[in-house]
Structure 1
Amino acid sequence: MDATTPERRSRLRQYQVQLLERMQAAKTGPASGGRELGVMIGGRHCLLDLTQISEIVPLQALTPVPLTQPWYLGLANIRGQLTGVVELASYLHGQPPAPAAPGQRDITLAPALKLHCALRVEALLGLRYLADMEERAAVADAPPWCRQQYDDSAGCRWHRLDLAQLVREPGFLQVGL
């Protein structure tokens, strides 16, 4: 089946709408704690706190910004707002950014974090519940914003990212060379 068939696009659109509805419900629900968005970043399973993200958007056209770090992909117009787009895997591991690929999405940060930024992720993996996972020992040599780890019932290791700590990290804020 061709990846661009109307039927497949319609199913993808429905999935995205359902995921966004669940994210909004989780943010406003009475017991929203423990629900995280699972994403793939740099080949790792990662968890993003739903209160720290705003929306999931398809890849946008980027305007490159000269003299910036390689992990800073450029500026995108997302809902009329100029938003910096960062490839988090490249930032974390110091590797060159991967080329755009099907399945990648940009996830914008919540307004409460006061940074117009989107994180490029390889794939969306759906909602996850921390209550269904076992917390592991913190990774001592990792940056403070990505030290927490969890194992799910299938034995998959998840890295929980604290985006509020990430946006206060001086290296993340310094996009210029």
Structure 2
Amino acid sequence: MANREALRELQTRLASRLQAARAEGSNVSSWLAVETAGQRYLLPLGHSGEIFHWTGVQAVPYTQPWFVGVANLRGALMGVVDLGGLMGTMINRSEQALADASLLAMNPALGVNAALMVDKLLGLRGTDAFVSSDAPGEGAPEYFGSRYTDAQGAHWQELNLQALSQSPAFLGIGV
């Protein structure tokens, strides 16, 4: 119950910050920052949808290990993808780790009923939160955007969720 209240509080804070940024006429926040499987990612706010607390997910047989299953999120049946696993870092999560996980629905405008499972929501970030950026490396997936470095030296990978949602890697859930 406390986790739901904390998630609701985070959503309220995020909504307030977005509204304040719009009122000021500035775009101070461009991304939702998340962490999963020890990696940090920046997800475009325009591609992101509603955030849900971990809920019961029904496993689906004969799918990729990173496809967690399907969940009913506010009456919509959505495929749940372990973002870390999709990016190549599968980890076994304890029941407690799953209870702390969040599901980030993709924006309905992307045309996929999918949610990404992430370990931690780290708030909103704008370009002013970073000291440097690099273009995606040679051979990087088409959905990789710039790679950013913050003042503490942490690396953040920008993901284009629209490109990800249309990539063969994402759409190929069957084994």
- Aligned sequence identity (%): 34
In the superposition, the TM-score normalised over structure 2's length comes to 0.84
Q: Give the superposition deviation at 1:163.
A: 0.6
Find the counterpart in structure 2 of residue 166 from structure 1.
164
2:40 corresponds, among 38, 45, 58, to: 45
More divergent stretch after superposition (122-131 vs 71-80): 122-131
What secondary structure, in the 3-state scheme, does the structure 1 residue paired with 2:46 have? Answer: helix
1:83 corresponds, among 73, 78, 81, to: 78
Equivalent positions of 1:99-118 (< 5 A) are: 99-100=94-95, 101=97, 102-118=99-115
Give the AA of the match of 1:135. Answer: S
What secondary structure, in the 3-state scheme, does the structure 2 residue paired with 1:167 have? Answer: helix
Find the counterpart in structure 2 of residue 124 from structure 1.
121
1-side partners of 2:102 and 2:109: how far apart? 21
Shift of the 108–12 alpha-carbon distance from structure 1 to 2, 3 Å rule, reads closer
Give the AA of the match of 1:149. Answer: R
In the superposition, the TM-score normalised over structure 1's length comes to 0.84
1-side partners of 2:147 and 2:94: how far apart? 28
- Is 2:93 the partner of 1:98? yes
Aligned residues: 172
**1:33-90, CA deviations, whole angstroms, 9 ceiling, x for partnerless residues?**
7521110022111111100001110011111111111111111000100000000111
More divergent stretch after superposition (10-19 vs 105-114): 10-19
Shift of the 39–96 alpha-carbon distance from structure 1 to 2, 3 Å rule, reads closer
More divergent stretch after superposition (23-32 vs 157-166): 23-32
Shift of the 15–172 alpha-carbon distance from structure 1 to 2, 3 Å rule, reads closer
Q: Give the unaligned 5+ runs of structure 2.
A: none
Shift of the 24–161 alpha-carbon distance from structure 1 to 2, 3 Å rule, reads farther
Residue pair 1:27, 1:51 contacting (<8 A) in 2 also: no
Residue pair 1:27, 1:50 contacting (<8 A) in 2 also: no
Find the counterpart in structure 1 of residue 138 from structure 2.
140
Q: Give the superposition deviation at 1:142.
A: 2.4
2-side partners of 1:99 and 1:176: how far apart? 25
Residue pair 2:101, 2:119 contacting (<8 A) in 1 also: yes
What secondary structure, in the 3-state scheme, does the structure 2 residue paired with 1:151 have? Answer: strand
What secondary structure, in the 3-state scheme, does the structure 1 residue paired with 2:143 have? Answer: helix
2-side partners of 1:29 and 1:110: how far apart? 24
2-side partners of 1:49 and 1:56: how far apart? 14
What secondary structure, in the 3-state scheme, does the structure 2 residue paired with 1:144 have? Answer: coil
More divergent stretch after superposition (146-155 vs 113-122): 146-155
1-side partners of 2:41 and 2:119: how far apart? 11
